[in-house]
C-alpha cells in the first residue's frame, strides 16, 4: 500500500518541474491511469481543470491535494475545523502543514511554525517536550502527553509515514486537547511509548510465575519494595538467571511504568560505538555521522528506566561519563557543548565479580557505590531447585501455545529434568523445553527424547553424589549442609544482621559462618 493511501483525498507529489514522484490510489483512479510516476502533472490538465487544487511547496517538491469543485473546500473544511490538531512535518522534522487547532493548543500563529523545525515550539517554551526525534530514530509511532504554555494538556500521537525502502517521508501528529477530559486521562496511563530500541527478546513473564523457592520469594518481596523508590539498583547473578526479567519487573511495578524501558547490553556494542549509542551525537559531529544527528538511548529512556545489562563490560572511559549521568542526571552528546538533563532511573546488572573488577582497576569504585544503592544477588538455578518444576511447567505451557501443540512430559523424563544441574540457568531451561516440544514425535516427552548431555549429566551427578555421600563422616555431612544453608541465605540477605534474624542465630555466629563459607 502506498503511504499516501492513508489519506482519503487525491494526493500527488511532484518535483518543481511537475514530474510526478508519488501518488495514492485515489489520484490514480481520478486520472484513470495506474502508472503515472514519471509523467508530468500538466499532462492531466484537461482532467484537473474540473477540480479544485491545493498546492503546498517544500524542499523542492510540490504536494497537490485535489478535491471536487462542488465540495466547497471539503477537505480543507474538515481539516481546519477538526477538534484535533493535525500537524505534518517532512522527514527532517520541518513543519509543512498544521490546522487551526495548533494555534489554540500552543498559542502560536500557524505561519510562525511552517518552514521551521518542530523543535521550535519546544525551544521557545510553547510546550514542555517534543518527541519527534524518537519517531525519527525508531521509525515507530509513539503516544505521549504534552503540557503547553497556554495551560493545555495535549495527547500527542506521532506516526511516521514510510516509503517502499522503509525510510521516513512524513511524520503526522494527531494532537487532542485532554485538559478537561477525565475519561482520556483515566486511560492515558495505559498508553505506552512504542520504542524500537527496547529489548525485543522475549523475557520471562514474572507476573505469571509463582516461584516456590524461599530465595526468589524473598527477592521478589525486596524488589517490589525497591520498585516504589526512585533509586538505582544493581542486580548480580550468573548468566541466564533472569536479571533482565527482574529489571523489567521493577520497572513495571514502579511509578515510571508508563514510561519507556530501554535496554543496552554493554557487552555486545563495540567500544567505538557505545558512547554514540548511549548519549547520541549532534549532526556533523564526526566523519560518517548522520546529517540529522542521533538520539541516544539515555534520552529515549527519559521518564522511564534505562537497563544497563553486563555493566561490568563497560569501558573505563565510558564509566566516567556514566558517573556524571548517575550523579547529576546530565550527559553530553558527542559534538555538543551544552549538557542535557534527563530523568531516568538506572538499573544495572552483571554476571561478573564487581569487587574483583574494582581491585583490578577495571571498574570505578565510585560508580559502583552509586549504582549499588540497592543490590540484589540472584542465586543460580541449581541452588533453588524448588523453582525448576515451576519453570518447566511454565515454559511447557508457553511453547505448547506458541507452536500449537499439546505435549506432555513423562514422569521419568520430568525426574531427569528436575535433577539436571542447569548450568545455563533459566535461559538453558527455556531453550531446552522449546527444543523438546518441537522435536517430540509423540505427544509425550520420554527419556528417549532427552539429549544425551542431560542424561549423562544426571548420571554423573548421581554417581558423584553417592561417592561424596559415602566419603564423608556424619560431622562432615552436617558441615556441608550448613555451608549450603549459609551460602543460600547470604545470597539473599547480603547482611549478617538480616541473615542472623532469618536463621534465628546470633549476629556473632552469623559473621563467623559468613567469613567461613562466603568470603
Q: Of 483, 399, 480, 459, nearest to 435 (Cα)?
A: 399
Residue 165 counted as domain residue = yes
Tens digit of pLDDT for each residue in 33-53? 778 888 998 888 888 877 777
Helix (H, G, I), strand (E, B) or coil at 38: coil
Largest CA distance in the chain: 104
Please indicate, yes or no, whether residues 332 and 389 belong to a single structural domain of this protein: no
Decide if pLDDT at 185 tops 60.
no
Residue 174 counted as domain residue = yes
Share of residues in the chain with pLDDT > 90 (%): 22
Backbone dihedral region of 481: left (phi > 0), alpha (psi from -120 to 50 degrees) or beta? Answer: alpha
Task: State the Cα angle at 509 between 504 and 515, rounded to 5°.
Answer: 125
Residue 7 counted as domain residue = yes
Decide if pLDDT at 402 tops 80.
yes
Give residue for cell 489520484.
Answer: 27
Decide if pLDDT at 401 tops 90.
no
Tens digit of pLDDT for each residue in 416-440? 899 898 999 999 999 999 999 998 8
Tens digit of pLDDT for each residue in 305-319? 999 999 999 999 899
What total of structural domains would you count in the chain?
4
Mean pLDDT rounded to a whole number for the chain = 82
Residues in the chain: 519
Residues forming a β-bridge with 129 = none
Tens digit of pLDDT for each residue in 88-109? 998 888 888 888 889 889 988 8
Please indicate, yes or no, whether residues 458 and 419 belong to a single structural domain of this protein: yes
Please indicate, yes or no, whether residues 29 and 173 belong to a single structural domain of this protein: yes
**Which stretch of 60-74, 189-203, 345-359, 397-411 has the lowest confidence by average pLDDT?**
189-203
Tens digit of pLDDT for each residue in 476-500? 778 888 888 888 888 778 888 888 9
Q: Of 144, 314, 130, nearest to 234 (Cα)?
A: 314
pLDDT at 190: 41
Please indicate, yes or no, whether residues 403 and 513 belong to a single structural domain of this protein: no
Domain boundary among 378, 403, 433: 378
Give the mean model confidence (pLDDT) for residues 127-147. 82
- Structural element, H or E, at residue 13: strand 10-15
Please indicate, yes or no, whether residues 30 and 121 belong to a single structural domain of this protein: yes
Give the mean model confidence (pLDDT) for residues 334-344. 87
Please indicate, yes or no, whether residues 40 and 146 belong to a single structural domain of this protein: yes
**Residue spans of alpha helices (H) in 23-124:** 25-31, 45-48, 74-80, 101-106, 110-113, 120-123
Decide if pLDDT at 519 tops 80.
no
Domain boundary among 333, 359, 378: 378
Please indicate, yes or no, whether residues 372 and 392 belong to a single structural domain of this protein: no
Residue 156 CA to residue 178 CA, distance in Å, equals 10
| pLDDT grade for 471, boundaries at 50, 70 and 90 | low
240, 424 Cβ separation under 8 angstroms: yes
Higher pLDDT, 13 or 459: 13
pLDDT at 136: 82
Count Cβ neighbours within 10 Å for each residue of 473-512 and write b for 16 or more, e otherwise. eeeeeeeeeeeeebebbbbbbeebebbbeeeeeeeeebee
Please indicate, yes or no, whether residues 331 and 395 belong to a single structural domain of this protein: no
Domain boundary among 143, 161, 190: 190
pLDDT at 250: 93
Give the mean model confidence (pLDDT) for residues 472-477. 75
Tens digit of pLDDT for each residue in 187-208? 444 443 333 333 333 344 444 5
Specify the pTM.
0.54
**Which stretch of 1-5, 27-31, 237-241, 373-377 has the lowest confidence by average pLDDT?**
1-5
Please indicate, yes or no, whether residues 246 and 386 belong to a single structural domain of this protein: no
Residue 285 counted as domain residue = yes
Please indicate, yes or no, whether residues 461 and 486 belong to a single structural domain of this protein: no
Residue 200 counted as domain residue = no
Please indicate, yes or no, whether residues 87 and 142 belong to a single structural domain of this protein: yes
| CATH number (domain holding residue 74) | 3.30.450.20
Backbone dihedral region of 462: left (phi > 0), alpha (psi from -120 to 50 degrees) or beta? Answer: alpha
Residue 195 counted as domain residue = no
| CATH number (domain holding residue 261) | 3.40.50.300
**Which residue range(s) make up the domain with 115?**
3-190
DSSP letter string over 137-176?
HH-S-EEEEEEBTTS-EEEEEEEEEE-TTS-EEEEEEEEE
Residue 68 counted as domain residue = yes
Helix (H, G, I), strand (E, B) or coil at 503: helix
Please indicate, yes or no, whether residues 219 and 255 belong to a single structural domain of this protein: yes
| pLDDT grade for 9, boundaries at 50, 70 and 90 | low
Residue 240 counted as domain residue = yes
Amino acid at each position: 500500500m502506498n503511504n499516501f493511501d492513508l489519506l482519503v483525498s487525491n494526493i500527488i507529489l511532484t518535483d518543481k518541474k511537475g514530474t510526478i514522484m508519488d501518488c495514492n490510489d485515489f489520484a490514480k483512479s481520478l486520472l484513470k491511469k495506474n502508472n503515472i510516476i514519471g509523467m508530468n502533472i500538466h499532462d492531466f490538465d484537461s482532467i484537473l481543470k474540473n477540480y479544485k487544487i491545493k498546492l503546498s511547496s517544500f524542499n523542492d517538491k510540490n504536494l497537490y491535494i485535489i478535491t471536487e469543485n462542488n465540495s466547497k473546500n471539503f477537505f480543507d473544511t474538515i481539516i481546519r475545523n477538526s477538534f484535533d490538531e493535525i500537524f505534518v512535518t517532512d522527514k527532517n522534522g520541518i513543519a509543512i502543514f498544521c490546522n487551526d487547532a495548533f494555534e489554540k493548543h500552543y498559542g502560536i500563529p500557524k505561519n510562525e511554525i511552517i518552514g521551521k523545525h518542530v523543535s521550535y515550539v519546544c525551544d521557545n517554551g510553547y510546550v514542555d517536550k517534543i518527541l519527534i526525534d524518537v519517531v525519527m530514530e525508531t521509525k515507530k509511532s509513539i503516544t505521549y502527553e504534552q503540557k503547553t504554555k497556554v495551560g493545555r494538556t495535549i495527547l500527542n500521537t506521532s506516526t511516521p509515514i514510510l516509503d517502499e525502502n522503509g525510510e521516513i517521508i512524513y511524520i503526522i501528529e494527531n494532537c487532542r486537547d485532554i485538559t478537561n477530559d477525565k475519561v482520556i486521562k483515566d486511560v492515558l496511563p495505559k498508553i505506552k511509548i512504542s520504542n524500537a530500541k527496547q529489548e525485543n527478546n522475549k523475557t520471562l513473564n514474572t507476573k505469571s510465575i509463582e516461584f516456590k523457592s524461599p530465595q526468589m520469594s524473598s527477592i521478589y518481596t525486596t524488589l517490589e519494595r525497591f520498585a516504589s523508590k526512585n533509586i538505582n539498583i544493581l542486580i548480580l547473578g550468573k548468566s541466564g538467571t533472569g536479571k533482565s526479567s527482574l529489571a523489567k519487573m521493577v520497572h513495571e511495578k514502579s511509578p515510571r511504568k508508563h514510561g519507556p524501558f530501554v535496554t543496552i547490553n554493554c557487552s555486545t556494542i563495540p567500544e567505538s560505538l557505545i558512547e554514540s549509542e548511549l548519549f547520541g551525537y549532534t549532526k556533523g559531529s564526526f566523519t560518517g555521522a548522520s546529517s540529522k544527528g542521533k538520539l541516544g538511548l539515555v534520552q529515549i529512556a527519559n521518564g522511564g528506566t534505562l537497563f544497563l545489562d553486563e555493566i561490568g563490560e563497560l569501558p573505563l572511559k565510558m564509566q566516567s561519563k556514566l558517573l556524571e549521568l548517575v550523579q547529576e542526571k546530565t550527559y553530553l552528546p558527542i559534538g555538543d557543548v551544552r549538557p542535557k538533563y534527563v530523568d531516568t532511573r538506572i538499573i544495572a546488572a552483571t554476571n561478573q565479580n564487581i569487587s574483583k573488577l574494582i581491585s583490578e582497576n577495571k571498574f570505578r569504585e565510585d560508580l559502583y557505590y552509586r549504582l549499588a544503592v540497592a543490590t540484589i544477588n540472584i542465586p543460580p538455578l541449581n541452588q533453588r531447585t524448588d523453582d525448576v518444576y515451576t519453570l518447566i511447567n511454565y515454559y511447557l505451557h508457553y511453547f505448547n501455545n506458541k507452536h500449537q501443540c499439546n505435549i506432555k512430559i513423562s514422569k521419568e523424563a520430568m525426574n531427569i529434568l528436575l535433577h539436571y544441574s542447569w548450568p545455563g540457568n533459566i535461559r538453558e531451561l527455556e531453550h531446552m523445553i522449546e527444543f523438546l516440544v518441537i522435536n517430540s514425535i509423540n505427544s509425550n516427552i520420554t527419556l528417549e527424547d532427552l539429549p544425551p548431555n542431560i542424561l549423562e549429566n544426571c548420571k554423573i551427578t548421581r554417581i558423584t553424589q553417592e561417592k561424596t555421600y559415602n566419603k564423608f563422616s556424619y560431622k562432615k555431612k552436617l558441615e556441608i549442609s550448613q555451608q549450603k544453608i549459609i551460602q543460600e541465605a547470604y545470597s539473599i540477605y547480603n547482611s549478617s544482621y538480616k541473615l542472623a534474624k532469618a536463621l534465628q542465630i546470633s549476629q556473632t555466629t552469623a559473621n563467623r559462618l559468613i567469613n567461613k563459607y562466603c568470603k
